[in-house]
Structure 1
């Protein structure tokens, strides 16, 4: 029981981290793409 609880906490904490990291990554990625496309045109 405790083992599954630990796994659940582990998964939840990772989900929390990814929910922060992924939008941040996409924001920076999109900004880089915008700068590149501006340079090309």
Structure 2
């Protein structure tokens, strides 16, 4: 990414994308966890 526009802007954007990625991973892990639990309950 070209960061010559303004350093603070660049940092804000990268922090934002990091947060998005972390939230996205957390959501997927929660979904997988719920799916696993549902399968386990159904199979009992």
- Specify if TM > 0.5: yes
Q: Which residues of structure 2 form unaligned runs of 5+?
A: none
TM-score between both structures, scaled by the size of structure 2: 0.61
Q: Which residues of structure 1 form unaligned runs of 5+?
A: none
Q: Which has the higher contact order (CA 8 A, sep 6+)?
A: 2
How many residue pairs were aligned? 38
Over aligned residues, Cα RMSD in angstroms?
1.6
